[in-house]
Structure 1
Amino acid sequence: MPTLPDIPPDLDPVTAVEAVQPGLLWYLTEPTRAAVDIGQFAAGRALLRGAPSGDGHTVLVLPGLGATDRATGPLRRFLTGLGYEVHGWGLGRNIGPSVTAVNGMRDLLRELAGRGKVSLVGWSLGGVFARELARQRPGSVRQVITLGSPYALADPRHTRVNPVYRLLSRFYEPGAPPPPPEHTRPAFPVPATAVYSRSDGIVPWRSCVSPTGKRHENVAVASSHLGYGYNATVLWVVADRLAQRPGRWRPFTPPPGMARMFPAA
């Protein structure tokens, strides 16, 4: 079973605590807050009926660590209802970047891109995968939307998901080495929106964002990590971003009736 690396010795201890793990209170209240997000999804269906309609293009949704397509079901059904051709990853439980998962995602993107560029939506580790797919095949990807994805963390395992990672590692099939640190890489090649929450109890929110640019942005929401796929504001952001026309990217602006639901960045 793979071992988890220690905090790098050259990282200041105080900075390390902030960078490696979210606060313990946020972590312990994740299940309760996720239940609130799910309840909000049920209560906010009327509000979400006003979300921008889709243009029918293909959307691939990738689940987080330890999750399956079942976890992204509500999000995918919501997007299907808006008019998109939505697909789950179809690779079972996400246990990390195994050879099976890496090759499976590449093959699936190649197949779907035969009908036109694909938008990628990834939850947590699924978003890290989505960004890597976009870097490898930018010509096949229309845009990437990440939901609480720690793509800017030097090692994604340095989070509150360590117990889950250790459990799943029993079934782990080694895959490709981890990608280089985000800050050392070329500019991201396609439009990207990073959705993050300062109250994320699983991954440090600073690892889920990057410098903004002409086609890159970070959108703050009030959500638990486990509730991203059910949170009404998150679903609205995803719908709004997917509805953008190719070549006409604009930063996200909350609709007037929902502006107070979005925290300051």
Structure 2
Amino acid sequence: MENNKIVYQSFVKLAVAIAVSQGTTEASAKKIITKNFEQHPFHKQLSKLIKKVSLKKENLNILANECISICEDFGPDRDYVTLVLLLETIYKNEEFKEIEKDTILNIIQRFKSEIERINAKIPAPPLYNVILETRAIAEWSSMFWLYPFIPKHKTNTTKPVLLMPPYLGNDNSTRFVRKYLKSVGFKTYKWDLGVNMINSKSIPKLVEKLDEIFEKHQEKVSLVGWSGGGIFAKIIANRHPEKVEQLITIGSPVWGLKNMKAPVIKSLEFLRGQKLRERNEKFIKELEEIPNVPITCVYTKTDGLIPWKNCMEAETYRKDIKNIEVFGSHCGMGANATILLTVANALSANLETKKDETIIEKVEQLFYPKFWQQKGLSKFTNLFFS
């Protein structure tokens, strides 16, 4: 929250000013805005910011420009979509009068287009990351002897999980993830569609597969997709949330595909002989929507094929959306011990009540960048003696 505090200070002032411009009092506007932030993971902190808002004779265009300028200073961020969606919700609020509706709509639409412009500037992975992709050879070869030593926390459920491979990969690409999930208790399913060419024609077949698993178990199915497989998984979760338990993506570009700068996009366009944005606008637009199911996005900042910011969903939109950073390459994600643990833990976390951590689960935290980002030696004492 601290990193985005300046953004939200500017944004809540804009939001309250928009509400007041629609004929409500400042006090009433603050209550409405606070209510709209109920699902935000930093609801308490934002409530305090909203209370501190003090309006004078504010110009909505100036407030919007200030917020946009701050967002641009901080750079591209998927969480900005939360701001856009909240403004659209405020605009549709039935408690407001029909005052300057066209003006407000124009401000919101311009705000949205400016955020899209800012988020289109995510750079391609640096050459250093591309070179580091050679680690994948070591990751895949080492997994054969490392696998037996990976901790296995048995789950109390046999929930179904459908796994989707990366671009140019097939079911062999997800063999270790499926094997591990099966060993801890989940019922895993292949996608059975051969090599993944990220073709929208695969979606009807995947939906049919989802229907079969859903009917067989008579319960919702969890979707796990690696890279291009995560693209399909997200679109299916958007279309059929009533049959999807949760969505987990692994190094998948879950937004911004239209303007994404990455080697994988260039290879895709080369093979098909057509620009991606010209090929399937509906497919790309659908990917921008956020499914109404729990979401976990796993990413690595040393990804050499996909810009890591495109692999993160808007955590601030809902409390059940999480982004988890891991160490490793993009091509080696299917044979990464931390990925196996992360996927299994994420599936279990959304299906079971929280349990006390065992010593093994505490040690697992050492494999994640989030632990090492903490300063000082106290991170070790806090981990084992808290």
TM-score by length of 2: 0.58
Larger radius of gyration: 2
The answer to whether residue 214 in structure 2 is matched with residue 113 in structure 1 is yes
Paired residue type of 1:27: V
Structure 2 SS opposite 1:218 = strand
Amino acid at match of 1:261: F
The equivalent residue for 1:146 is: 249
Change (3 A) 1:249 1:207: farther
1:141-189 C-alpha deviation (Å, 9 max, x unpaired): 111110001112242763111343145427x9x7673232766x4x530
Q: 1:80 aligns with which of 155, 176, 182?
A: 182
- CA separation of 1:258/1:49 partners in 2, compared to 1, >3 Å: closer, same or farther? closer
1:203 Cα shift?
Answer: 0.3
Map of 1:102 onto structure 2 = 203
Tell me which residue corresponds to 2:109.
none
Aligned residues: 247
* Cα pair 1:56 1:84 within 8 Å, conserved: yes
1:57 maps to 2:163: no
Identify the residue that residue 27 of structure 1 maps to in structure 2.
Answer: 130
Distance 1:93 1:175, change over 3 A: farther
- CA, structure 1 residues 221+206, in 2 after alignment: closer, same or farther (shift >3 Å)? same
Say what the alpha-carbon RMSD is for the aligned residues.
3.0
Judge conservation of contact 2:301–2:308 (CA < 8 Å) in 1. yes
Q: Which amino acid aligns with 1:217?
A: K
C-alpha offsets along residues 98-151 of structure 1, whole Å, 9 cap, x if unaligned? 32x111111111111112211100000111111111111101011111000111
Provide the C-alpha distance between the structure 2 equivalents of 1:214 and 1:45, rounded to a whole number of angstroms.
33
1:125 to 228, 240, 257: 228
Q: 1:262 and 1:136 mapped to 2: Cα distance?
A: 32
Judging changes above 3 Å, is the alpha-carbon distance between structure 1 residues 202 and 156 closer, same or farther for their aligned structure 2 residues?
A: farther
**SS where residue 255 of structure 1 aligns?**
helix
Distance in 1 of aligned mates of 2:225 and 2:156: 18
Q: Give the counterpart letter for 1:60 in structure 2.
A: L
Aligned twin of 2:284: 179
| Secondary structure, counterpart of 2:248 in structure 1 | strand
1:45-95 per-residue CA deviation (whole Å, 9 max, x = no partner) reads: 244233343611111000111111111112112212222211111111111
Deviation for aligned residue 1:261: 1.3
**Counterparts of 1:80 and 1:246, CA distance in 2:** 16
Aligned partners of 1:118 and 1:142 also within 8 Å: yes
Structure 2 runs not aligned, ≥5 long: 1-115, 374-386
Cα distance, 1:20 vs. partner? Answer: 4.1
Matches of 1:92 and 1:176 in 2, distance apart?
Answer: 25
Match of 1:260 among 351, 354, 366: 366
Please show how residues 192-211 of structure 1 align to structure 2 within 5 Å.
192-211=295-314
- Per-residue displacement from partner, 1:195-248 (whole Å, max 9, x unpaired)? 000000100000111222311100000010001111001100111112235375
2:37 counterpart residue number = none
Quote the Cα distance in structure 2 between the aligned partners of 1:85 and 1:154.
31
Give the conservation status (yes or no) of the 8 Å contact 2:161–2:224: yes
Distance 1:54 1:123 in 2: 25
Instruction: State how far apart, in whole Å, the 2-side matches of 1:220 and 1:121 are.
Output: 16
**Bigger relative contact order, structure 1 or 2 (CA pairs below 8 A, ≥6 apart):** 1
Could you say if the C-alpha distance between residues 68 and 159 of structure 1 is closer, same or farther in structure 2, counting changes exceeding 3 Å? Answer: same
Post-superposition shift, 1:249?
A: 7.9
Greater helix proportion: 2
The answer to whether 1:165 aligns with 2:274 is no
Change (3 A) 1:168 1:244: same
Match of 1:4 in 2: none
Instruction: Mark the runs of 5 or more structure 1 residues left unpaired by the alignment.
Output: 1-9
> How far apart, in 1, do the equivalents of 2:367 and 2:188 lie?
27
Give me the TM-score of the superposition, normalised by structure 1: 0.82
1:136 aligns with 2:211: no
Following the alignment from structure 1 to structure 2, what is the Cα–Cα distance between the partners of residues 61 and 156? 27
Give the Cα–Cα distance (whole angstroms) in 2 for the partners of residues 107 and 20 of structure 1. 37
Cα distance change, pair 249–259 in 1 and its aligned pair in 2 (3 A): closer
Q: Could you report, residue by residue, the CA deviation over 1:22-43 in whole angstroms, capped at 9, with x for unpaired residues?
A: 111111221x211232245345
Indicate how the Cα distance of structure 1 residues 40 and 219 shifts in structure 2: closer, same or farther if over 3 A, else same: farther
